[in-house]
Structure 1
Amino acid sequence: MSTLTTIGFDADDTLWENEHFFRLTEAHFSELLADYAEPEILASRLLEAEKRNLAHYGFGIKGFTLSMIETAIEITDGKVPGDTIGRIVAAGREMLSHPVNTLPHVHETLEALTASHTLVLITKGDLFDQERKLAQSGLGDFFNAVEIVSDKSPSTYATAFARHGDGPDRAMMVGNSLRSDVLPAIEAGGWGTYVPHELTWDYERAEEPGNVPRFTKIETLAELRPLIERLKG
């Protein structure tokens, strides 16, 4: 670990709140379609649509909004009122302007680590929305590089850490998603540090790996610097 030179950070729900706004919008979506289906059924059908559409729309608010519209059409057998569609579109547009609330310990952790490591932000989602959130967060100056990607795979991390660091074997990825942030980074040859968030999209859930030396778990980012120091020893 004395050769650890690069640390990658996820953005949404690792550095700032994100899933909270999706949950609020989904609750509003359920209210709009309350006459057609129970909330549990709507949530299940919406998740199916989101997963089905990832290959077409990618991750982020725009794909989520289109999936809500598609679900509304399906659940009503094509009879969804036009004004309901309009409200869904408006809800999606409102999400694109939600405030950026950084999570605890983010600022001081990045400020301390940027002096000793190359920091790379690796996030997926809508390009404009991620750029907006990074700008409003005030965290941009801490990062040596920013990668906004369509998906996160082992090759994503291998490429990013080779481009901005000394390769994945000398890098650590920190994030709240086991599926997207941690497991593929480990598969690429790096360290994966899991920082759970109380709200996690079902698609991002995965089992914690057992007996994997390069897997670590911390409860908050306040534990990251002590973790790195312990691993060095």
Structure 2
Amino acid sequence: MTLTAIGFDADDTLWHNERFFQLTQARFAELLSAHVEADHLAERLEAAERRNIARYGFGVKGFVLSMIETAIEVSEARVPASVIAELIAAGHEMLEHPIELLPHARETVEALRGRFRLVLITKGDLLDQERKLAQSGLGEAFDAVEIVSDKRPETYAAIFARHAEGAARAMMVGNSLRSDVVPMIRAGGWGVHVPHALTWALEHDTAPHDHPRFAELPDLGDLPALITRLSTSS
């Protein structure tokens, strides 16, 4: 293996993100408790998010709009304006939450800096992702930053053709099998799964354990050693 570039996902790979969505969703259930049970509300919200990804993309804004849509639906348009206002305020709070890096994120990125071309590849709202990267203090460690609408095999093929020597000589590291791992492997590269305790349902997929370019690590701190083992074994 001649690895020249490493891509990193951002949310729930380098810093916490999903827990803010889950806290807001718990508050959403409280606000709508007079209209629907929490489990059914979660199902309706997930269905709305699936429908709306093509309209709004990924991120806080689409999440808030999906909550408002769901609130109107389950209440048969009787939801008070005060509840809608609280949902909007919750979205504002999510867009302002401070960044907390995950364990070993900084040390791992710094250890690989200069040895490989490092590319941050994240999806979601442009302004929010830029804010989080700036607050993380990791921005200068990356040779390139790509904020994309979705992550597909062709996305990775194009990114690593621009910033490196193609996907075949690159690795993508992230917590999402659906977005970070499976499409990167299909593009011809390495996919490294670093599971997070909280992962959005729409990011689940089957782990390709039998694929020679798949690896799974308990945390980011094991990534440099994995790269060394792969390089030595090749």
**TM-score over 0.5 (shorter chain):** yes
Alpha-carbon distance in structure 1 between the residues aligned to 2:21 and 2:207: 24
- Matching residue of 2:152: 153
- Offset of residue 65 of structure 1: 0.2
Cα displacement string for residues 77-96 of structure 1 (whole angstroms, at most 9, x for unaligned residues): 01111111111111111100
Could you list the structure 1 runs, at least 4 aligned residues long, displaced by more than 3 angstroms after superposition: none
TM-score for the superposition, normalised by structure 2: 0.98
- Matching residue of 2:161: 162
- Matching residue of 2:61: 62
Q: Indicate the SS of the match to 2:154.
A: helix
Q: For residue 216 of structure 2, what is the amino acid of its counterpart?
A: K
Q: How does 1:107-146 map to 2 (within 5 A)?
A: 107-146=106-145
In structure 2, runs of 5+ residues without a counterpart are none
- Matching residue of 1:9: 8
Cα displacement string for residues 148-169 of structure 1 (whole angstroms, at most 9, x for unaligned residues): 0000000000000010001000
Q: Indicate the SS of the match to 1:147.
A: strand
- Matching residue of 2:190: 191
Q: Indicate the SS of the match to 1:120.
A: strand
| 1:82 matched to 2:81 | yes
Q: How does 1:194-205 map to 2 (within 5 A)?
A: 194-205=193-204
- Offset of residue 143 of structure 1: 0.1
- Offset of residue 100 of structure 1: 0.3
Alpha-carbon distance in structure 2 between the residues aligned to 1:219 and 1:67: 33
Cα displacement string for residues 105-129 of structure 1 (whole angstroms, at most 9, x for unaligned residues): 0111111101200000000001000
Q: For residue 41 of structure 2, what is the amino acid of its counterpart?
A: L
- Offset of residue 210 of structure 1: 3.2
Q: Indicate the SS of the match to 1:122.
A: strand
Cα displacement string for residues 19-74 of structure 1 (whole angstroms, at most 9, x for unaligned residues): 00000000000010010111101111000000100000000000000000000000
Q: For residue 217 of structure 2, what is the amino acid of its counterpart?
A: I
Q: For residue 7 of structure 1, what is the amino acid of its counterpart?
A: I
- Offset of residue 98 of structure 1: 0.6
- Offset of residue 211 of structure 1: 1.3
Alpha-carbon distance in structure 1 between the residues aligned to 2:36 and 2:48: 16
In structure 1, runs of 5+ residues without a counterpart are none
Q: For residue 198 of structure 1, what is the amino acid of its counterpart?
A: A
- The aligned length equals 232
- Matching residue of 1:93: 92
Q: Indicate the SS of the match to 2:215.
A: strand
Alpha-carbon distance in structure 1 between the residues aligned to 2:209 and 2:92: 41
How large is the Cα RMSD of the aligned pairs? 0.5
Q: Indicate the SS of the match to 1:231.
A: helix
Q: Indicate the SS of the match to 1:152.
A: coil
Alpha-carbon distance in structure 2 between the residues aligned to 1:198 and 1:210: 19
Q: For residue 203 of structure 1, what is the amino acid of its counterpart?
A: L
Identity percentage of aligned residues? 63
